[in-house]
Structure 1
Amino acid sequence: MTQQDDRRALVVEDDEDIRSLIEFTLGTQGFDVRATESGLEAVELVRTFDPDLVTLDLGLPGIDGIETCRRIRELSDVYVVMITARDDEIDRLLGLETGADDFLSKPFSVRELKARVNALFRRPRRGVGVGAGPAPTAPVPDHEVLEHGPLRVDVDGRRAFRGAEELSLTRTEFDLLTELMRTPARVWTREALLRSVWGTEWASDTHLVEVHIGNLRRKLGDPSEKPGFIRTVRGVGYRMESLEA
């Protein structure tokens, strides 16, 4: 696990004042910070600098934040906080669907930025991510392994499988699946998942849960007919679907 004083952050923002503010804020939290106003340069910095956190402006010149996030996700499962001046639901959906872990709208307070970053880093960061390497022939003896029908999650190795196929999940999707599979009969409210996975209790963020659950369902290969692997309990939240005959 990365030590706090070794954490690295990349700030991708074309507004100089906001870029400087984010750089300073993250620097006071112990991050080694690099910054750029270019999406293309950001992708290269993710490759060479290997940050633990990226704050990513949506409205970048050249390739925008959506495309930048998509390219970053091909290289890394780094935490991505997308930042935008536009209050457009479509933008938020696209950002989350391309792998952003959280979303901040301008103007935002330094306190809110710090709180969101701290919440992300309270989540487990074991292993180097999900989706690389061959499937193990057997679990490592002291690893926590969860199973639900054809789904298998190696919690400590941060790898998820459907049958023999390893699933390429983002860090957030992996954490959601782990929480649901640990207590498959439990109905999780959106607020409870926010507290457990995101470390936040902001009620307005329940939409984060809905979007990431939708992305997770698609990657699990849920059938189009309901309920699939994850059941929506109307008016409450989500639980794993019983697979018993």
Structure 2
Amino acid sequence: MPKILLVDDDIELTELLAELLSLEGFDILVVHNGQEALKELEIQHYDLVLLDVMMPVLNGIETLKQVRQKYDLPVLMLSARDDDIDRVLGLELGADDYLPKPFNDRELIARIKAILRRTKVIKENNVVDIIDDEENDRKLLNFGGVELHPGRQQAIFEGKDLDLTGTEFALLQILMRHPGQILSRELLSIEILGKRLTPYDRAIDMHISNLRKKLPERNDNLPWFKTLRGRGYLLVTDK
């Protein structure tokens, strides 16, 4: 049963969400500020964090900064403020996705399941995905000196872990599986974030930007990605 840490100071909302997520088969623990969340993460492992932005004691943005310094687990940000600055900042700091309040219950469930499937925590039927190491070794991807190990969700360059988030890893993986091929932002949003692209949605763009910062310079001096305005992104080949 996937474990979710829900961090929000809205008592009524957390009670409703805890009941909803429990009925969907998730194990839920609720805390009401970022400081409590950080303490809880030191005690036990969680598969995903639902993190509100506006909270007392320690807000969601500051909490996310500290989470990313220590943990590589998916974070879905929640906020009553549909503010571009908050949304972009959260994505820059490594949030996997962002959902403004009020939101549809089914959309929240869909986003959670998409993130958990992507990080190999659960399959479509909510069963833990047990991965065979030997099989994963055969699926290893290599491009430009970067090795992707799908089973471990790990990207390595010259023996160094690139410390990608689950979303960044999934995005790089799909691009590496289709080198030189244009992948639309709509397709990437559906495949990586489990949602259709909406106007002014910059989540995929921010994850590409984060990848560009984390990836090393290529030996052939080519850029990793090319942005095709109105069309999408491609992984640049030497052809």
Structure-2-length-normalised TM-score:
0.87
Equivalent in 71, 78, 82 of residue 76 of structure 1: 71
Corresponding residue of 1:132: none
| Greater shift in the superposed pair: 139-148 or 68-77 | 139-148
Please list the CA deviations of residues 56-84 of structure 1 after superposition, one character each: whole Å capped at 9, or x if unmatched.
11011122101111211223222211111
What pairs up with 1:17-166 in 2 under 5 angstroms? 17-125=12-120, 143=137, 144-166=139-161
3-state secondary structure, aligned to 1:66:
helix
Deviation at 1:206, TM superposition (A): 4.3
Sequence identity percentage:
37
User: Are the aligned partners of 1:149 and 1:243 in contact in 2 as well (CA < 8 Å)?
Assistant: no
Deviation beyond 6 Å, 4+ runs, structure 1: none
Change (3 A) 1:75 1:36: same
Structure-1-length-normalised TM-score:
0.85
Q: Does 1:167 align with 2:128?
A: no
Please list the CA deviations of residues 101-122 of structure 1 after superposition, one character each: whole Å capped at 9, or x if unmatched.
1111111121221121122223
Change (3 A) 1:181 1:118: same
User: Are the aligned partners of 2:185 and 2:197 in contact in 1 as well (CA < 8 Å)?
Assistant: no
Please list the CA deviations of residues 149-208 of structure 1 after superposition, one character each: whole Å capped at 9, or x if unmatched.
222212222211223322010000000001000111211100111121122224347411
Corresponding residue of 2:124: none
Gaps of 5+ in 1: 1-5, 127-138
User: Are the aligned partners of 1:97 and 1:211 in contact in 2 as well (CA < 8 Å)?
Assistant: yes
Aligned residues: 225
3-state secondary structure, aligned to 1:193:
helix
User: Are the aligned partners of 1:194 and 1:206 in contact in 2 as well (CA < 8 Å)?
Assistant: no
User: Are the aligned partners of 2:8 and 2:14 in contact in 1 as well (CA < 8 Å)?
Assistant: yes
Corresponding residue of 1:191: 186
Corresponding residue of 2:212: 217
Supply the AA of the counterpart residue of 2:49. V
Equivalent in 223, 230, 234 of residue 235 of structure 1: 230
3-state secondary structure, aligned to 2:147:
strand
RMSD: 2.1
